[in-house]
Amino acid sequence: MKLYFKSTTLDKKIAWTWVDMDKAYWLSWIPKKSDIKIVTRLNKEQKKEARDELWEELQSSAQFTRDRNNARRRAKRLAKGSKTW
């Protein structure tokens, strides 16, 4: 599956995908920059620029996932600590 974003530095539409698309459907998955694969034909420097720009755009959703994961873990620890034996 190809995904697209509009690059402001290269001024063009860039196709990209995740290296492992199966992980993209996990609710708790936090991607790394190396998980981004640029599909559009670009030279090495342009691919690096596009990957960096896309990575910056994805940081807000990655932070949302981190916060949600932390809240779930915190709730689990509190629930475990409040058990009465």
Residues of the chain with pLDDT under 70: 83-85
Predicted structure pTM score: 0.79
Residue 1 is predicted with a pLDDT of 87
Residue 84 is predicted with a pLDDT of 61
pLDDT tens track for 17-36: 999 999 989 988 999 999 99
Residue 85 is predicted with a pLDDT of 58
Total of domains in the chain: 1
Residue 81 is predicted with a pLDDT of 80
CB burial of 7-19 (b: ≥16 within 10 Å; e: otherwise) equals beeeeeebebebe
Amino acid at 29: W
Look up the domain containing 51 and give its range.
3-81
DSSP 8-state assignment for residue 33: G
Q: What does the block give as tokens for 67?
A: 């916060």
User: What sign results for the dihedral spanned by CA atoms 73, 74, 76, 80?
Assistant: positive
